[in-house]
């Protein structure tokens, strides 16, 4: 915050994981690799969910 001269931001070198999406910077950071082309390269969040739903470990996510 420039007016107060203090750091306000998230984690990672550029501060992009702020916690605004899930309420925690660490949780927001965990969302990134699923859609990044040089990491897991999934087309969308829906594709990630479908892959988990079809996986043999899917029952582990049921409540």
> What pLDDT digit, counting tens, does each position of 14-58 carry?
888 888 889 988 898 998 899 999 999 999 999 999 999 999 999
Higher-confidence position of 11 and 2: 11
Cα R_g (the chain), whole angstroms: 16
Q: pTM value?
A: 0.61
4 has pLDDT over 80: no
Which residues, 6+ apart, have CB-to-CB distance to 61 below 8 Å? 52
How many domains is the chain partitioned into structurally? 1
Domain of 51, in residue numbers:
1-63
């Amino acid at each position: 915050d420039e007016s107060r001269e203090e750091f306000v931001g998230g984690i990672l070198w550029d501060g992009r994981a702020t916690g605004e999406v899930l309420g925690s910077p660490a949780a927001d950071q965990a969302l990134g690799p699923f859609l990044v082309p040089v990491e897991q390269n999934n087309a969308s969040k829906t594709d990630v969910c479908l892959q988990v739903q079809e996986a043999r470990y899917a029952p582990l996510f049921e409540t």
